């Protein structure tokens, strides 16, 4: 029985590899569809909690700006990745000037903190780079990949528990999976992949790719203080990131040399007024 369990576990791990949009092999024990369902539940709960604490912004001008820029990026995403056409694209505008952060869950559900604009004085092109990066995490199924990493770890613990016949170890594995799925950051590889895809999306949408370099210069300056931005805790910034982005910008500019702006795809902006 123990050998059979280990064989099934190994088979699951070996047969669950898929290919990302950049050609990278991904371990995918959780389907992208399942990740979207789980993300929807978590997102609605998060937005509801923010609303009840009066943490959603009522800045109509900023909401319009976010909708327009994000909408152009989404129009490119839908054109390049048709599977995202039916996603519930939305952005929660969080009223928190002290937090420099943005994120995107599976299925195109996003959040942007007002601290990004307050502290970084973002240009439209710089904001497009942030959102292009975040949207790329969803398009490349990084949420499902992160959940799969958690499941793989759990399967390993369960296997050890089965071999040792230790029920406490086996039972603790389920809780470990849930915790890891929520707390694991994206891998460094996934971050670099989102850099590449995000730069391409923003450029196709009509935004200057050089803004990726100026964005990270600003991010690094803010991160040089005692309290680095929340964004940097989940988006590791190696020393050569700006150089790598500058090199990529030279190539991706060819995708839209005239900087023609893409049409605006409808994106729901969740504010204090929209609740």
Known catalytic residues are: 134
Q: Return the sign of the alpha-carbon dihedral for residues 53, 58, 64, 66.
A: negative
DSSP 248-271: HHHHHGGGSTT-PPPPPPP-EEE-
Which whole-number Å values give the CA distances from 34 to 31, 111, 143, in the listed order?
5, 21, 10
User: Residue for token digits 């099934």?
Assistant: 8
Give the C-alpha separation, 70 to 269, whole Å: 10
Of 149, 143, 121, 155, nearest to 234 by C-alpha is 143
């Amino acid at each position: 029985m123990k050998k059979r369990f280990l064989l099934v576990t190994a088979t699951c791990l070996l047969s669950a590899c898929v290919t990302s949009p950049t050609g990278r092999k991904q371990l995918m024990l959780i389907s992208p569809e399942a990740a979207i369902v789980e993300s929807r539940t978590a997102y609605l709960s998060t937005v509801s909690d923010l609303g009840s604490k009066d943490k959603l912004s009522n800045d109509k001008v900023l909401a319009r700006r976010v909708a327009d820029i994000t909408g152009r990026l989404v129009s490119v995403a839908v054109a390049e990745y048709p599977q995202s056409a039916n996603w519930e694209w939305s952005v929660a505008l969080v009223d928190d000037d002290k937090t420099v952060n943005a994120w995107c869950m599976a299925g195109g559900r996003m959040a942007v903190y007002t601290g990004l604009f307050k502290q970084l004085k973002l240009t439209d092109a710089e904001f497009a780079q942030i959102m292009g990066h975040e949207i790329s995490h969803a398009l490349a199924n990084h949420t499902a990949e992160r959940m799969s990493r958690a499941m793989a770890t759990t399967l390993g613990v369960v296997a050890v528990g089965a071999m040792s016949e230790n029920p406490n170890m086996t039972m603790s594995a389920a809780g470990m999976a849930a915790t890891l799925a929520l707390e694991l950051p994206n891998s460094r590889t996934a971050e670099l992949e989102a850099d590449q895809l995000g730069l391409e999306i923003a450029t196709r949408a009509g935004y200057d790719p050089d803004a990726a370099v100026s964005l990270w210069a600003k991010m690094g300056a803010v991160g040089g203080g005692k309290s680095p931005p929340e964004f940097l805790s989940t988006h590791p910034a190696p020393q050569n990131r700006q150089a790598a982005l500058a090199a990529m910008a030279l190539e991706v500019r060819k995708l839209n040399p005239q900087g023609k702006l893409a049409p605006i795809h409808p994106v729901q902006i969740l504010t204090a007024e929209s609740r």
